[in-house]
């Protein structure tokens, strides 16, 4: 629960802030107001605010003095000062009090909202630190770490932390977000506590994100540093911890000899998570393993070779190219940067293009498929997932079942017939159905399923496309062009053309010819 108090001697400003700032929407649960320091102190005897919005210049005790007093009893309280231009001399004092913001009058509500959001974030961070010791240790400076340990040193846990000589962070990255963090933490502790205790190693755990679980090991140097037996046993324990549907990856940070250096171990563990790309799920990596940021594009010659293999329906040749590309990236220990992802975007685009050329011609579904595939490839975390996806796509295209192939060739035949006879004014769905020996209804449904377009829509689009090409010939009259692309009524043709291009045919011709 977030509590906030507004201390402002001017009633109009005080009430204006209370009325126009959407406190509940921002995450503030309780709001109180006071017109001076004395009233604020009385309210806060029981209220205990997390955030103070205070004017600086007020009768009696000013805002700086007020907040100094509050900080003595509520050191984690976040402060936002509001002040006129003439109060700039107090800015230094506000900085010393670590105020979240200094908002000048006349008050900008959007600016004040941003300051409140920052204050709420600071409050929530402070509360998490008081709840989770590990979280606190990771987010503190060296001096703050020492202060925290002095605070908790009377506890058994605090004594052990102060006596430890080696610390090491492990981070577990899960493929899916963990919905029940407490249950997952309990399961982890149950898996490793006995094994670590027997080795004289202590630990703390915490979630920093819904898919990032942190494990801190600490103890004496001889029990942790270079102890391969312990590390092997630990890996066996944590590997058995996740359930079957919980793919995960462990990143291991560097050992440090002081809690003040714990953030270094944490950052190195985070860095090691990028090795998931070539290691794969359900493995682990240490921070100092070799890796590379691959910088090259997929060679054009290889693209052409892949395209040729697909057009010849040579599954083995296409698969060999995919396997060689995957193995090359694995051998290079390539992390998933833009260039690596772009290699697989390019390969998949070649597959989509080949599918179109083999079976269907040019359709609107091509772009939809490319977009959907690119979205999938952008979300995966490993080279194997990318490789497996494009390999399945190749198999789908080259091993299409007979019925699908027959249907695709029927639609392709209809399209080719339209290309050759688009100028025929009598070209209808009935005529096209007779060409392929199907009923008009069946053909219409099949064409829509395979192309995403109606037959009539495709015919109109193709006629207008050809009309645009013919408009480049100044010798042709507009009514002649309408007739050549299958329209008896030149006015109807002009309306369709304008609807498609935004211009009437004569304007389009002028733009085209310059």
Alpha-carbon distances, residue 306 vs 58, 299, 325, 355, 442 (angstroms): 76, 11, 11, 13, 36
Q: Helix/strand/coil (H, E, C) string of 34-100?
A: ECCHHHHHHHHHHHCCCEEEEECCCCCCCHHHHHHHHHHHCCCCEEEEEECHHHHHHHHHHHHCCCC
| Strand 248-252 relative to strand 283-286, pairing | parallel
pTM (two decimals): 0.54
Same-domain check for residues 508 and 446: yes
Query: Is 295 within the bounds of a domain?
Result: no
Q: Which of 378, 400, 422 is the last residue of a domain?
A: 400
Query: Is 494 within the bounds of a domain?
Result: yes
Same-domain check for residues 325 and 245: no
Query: Is 34 within the bounds of a domain?
Result: yes
Same-domain check for residues 119 and 138: no
Q: Which of 228, 252, 286 is the last residue of a domain?
A: 286
Same-domain check for residues 34 and 102: yes
CATH number at residue 483: 1.10.10.60
Residue with tokens 């600086």: 56
- Asked if 19 and 66 count as a contact pair (C-beta separation under 8 A), the reply is no
Residue-by-residue pLDDT tens, the chain, 514 positions? 788 999 999 999 999 999 999 999 999 988 999 999 999 988 887 677 889 999 988 888 888 888 888 877 676 789 999 887 555 566 777 777 788 888 888 889 999 999 999 999 888 776 665 445 676 667 655 555 555 555 544 444 555 666 778 899 999 898 888 887 767 776 776 677 667 766 778 778 788 788 888 888 888 887 777 667 777 777 777 676 656 567 889 899 999 988 888 889 999 999 999 999 999 998 889 999 999 999 988 999 999 999 999 988 899 999 999 999 999 999 999 999 989 999 999 999 999 888 877 765 444 455 556 667 777 777 889 999 999 999 999 988 887 644 566 777 888 889 999 999 999 999 999 999 999 999 999 999 999 988 888 999 999 999 999 999 999 999 999 999 999 999 999 999 999 999 999 999 999 988 877 6
CATH number at residue 181: 3.30.70.2730
Residue 130 has a pLDDT of 43
What is the domain range of residue 257?
A: 133-286
Exposed e or buried b for every residue in 442-466, given b needs 16+ CB within 10 A?
ebbebbeebbbbebeebbbebbbeb
Query: Is 294 within the bounds of a domain?
Result: no
Burial class of 261 by CB neighbour count within 10 A (0 to 12, 13 to 18, 19+): middle
Split into its structural domains, the chain has a count of 4
Same-domain check for residues 139 and 256: yes
Residue with tokens 């102890």: 227
Peptide bond into 106 cis (omega under 30): yes
Query: Is 293 within the bounds of a domain?
Result: no
Q: Which of 369, 400, 431 is the last residue of a domain?
A: 400
- Asked if 340 and 334 count as a contact pair (C-beta separation under 8 A), the reply is yes
Same-domain check for residues 26 and 114: yes
Same-domain check for residues 159 and 243: yes
Query: Is 265 within the bounds of a domain?
Result: yes
Same-domain check for residues 254 and 348: no
């Amino acid at each position: 629960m977030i509590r906030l108090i507004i201390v402002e001697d001017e009633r109009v400003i005080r009430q204006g802030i209370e009325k126009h700032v959407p406190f509940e929407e921002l995450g503030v649960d309780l709001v109180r107001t006071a017109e001076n320091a004395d009233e604020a102190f009385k309210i806060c005897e029981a209220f205990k605010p997390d955030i103070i919005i205070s004017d600086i210049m007020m009768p009696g005790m000013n805002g700086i003095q007020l907040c100094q007093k509050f900080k003595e009893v509520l050191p984690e309280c976040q402060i936002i000062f509001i002040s006129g231009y003439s109060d700039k001399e107090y800015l230094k004092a506000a900085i010393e009090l670590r105020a979240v913001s200094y908002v000048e009058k006349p008050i900008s509500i959007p600016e004040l909202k941003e300051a409140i959001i920052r204050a709420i974030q600071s409050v929530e961070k402070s509360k998490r630190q008081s709840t989770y010791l590990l979280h606190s240790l990771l987010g503190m400076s060296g001096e703050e770490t020492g202060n925290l340990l002095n605070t908790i040193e009377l506890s058994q846990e605090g004594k052990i932390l102060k006596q430890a000589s080696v610390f090491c962070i492990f981070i577990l990255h899960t493929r899916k977000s963990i919905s029940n963090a407490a249950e997952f933490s309990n399961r982890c502790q149950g898996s490793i506590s006995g094994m670590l205790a027997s080795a004289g190693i202590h630990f703390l755990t915490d979630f920093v994100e819904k898919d990032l679980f942190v494990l801190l090991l600490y103890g004496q140097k001889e029990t942790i540093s270079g102890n391969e037996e312990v590390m092997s046993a630990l890996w066996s324990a944590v590997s058995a911890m996740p359930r079957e549907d919980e793919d995960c990856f462990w990143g291991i940070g560097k050992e440090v000899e002081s809690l003040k250096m714990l953030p270094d171990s944490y950052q190195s563990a985070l860095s090691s998570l990028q090795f998931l790309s070539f290691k794969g799920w359900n493995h682990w990596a240490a921070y100092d393993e070799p890796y590379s940021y691959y910088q090259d594009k997929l060679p054009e010659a290889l693209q052409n070779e892949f395209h040729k293999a697909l057009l010849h329906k040579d599954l083995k040749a296409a698969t060999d190219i995919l396997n060689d590309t995957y193995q090359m990236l694995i051998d290079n220990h390539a992390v998933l940067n833009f260039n690596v992802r772009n290699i697989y975007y390019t390969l998949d685009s070649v597959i989509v293009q080949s599918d179109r050329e083999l079976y269907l011609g040019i359709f609107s579904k091509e772009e939809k498929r490319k977009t959907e595939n690119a979205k999938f490839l952008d979300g995966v975390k490993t080279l194997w997932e990318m490789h497996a996806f494009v390999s399945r796509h190749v198999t789908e295209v080259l091993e299409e079942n007979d019925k699908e192939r027959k249907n695709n060739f029927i639609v392709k035949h209809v399209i080719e017939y339209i290309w050759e006879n688009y100028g025929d004014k009598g070209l209808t769905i009935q005529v096209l159905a007779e060409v392929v020996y199907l009923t008009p209804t069946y053909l219409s449904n099949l064409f829509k399923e395979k192309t995403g377009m109606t037959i009539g829509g495709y015919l109109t689009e193709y006629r207008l496309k050809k009309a645009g090409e013919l408009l480049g010939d100044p010798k042709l009259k507009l009514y002649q062009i309408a007739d050549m692309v299958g329209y008896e009524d030149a006015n109807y043709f002009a309306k369709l053309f304008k609807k498609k291009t935004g211009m009437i045919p004569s304007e389009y011709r002028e733009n085209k010819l310059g």
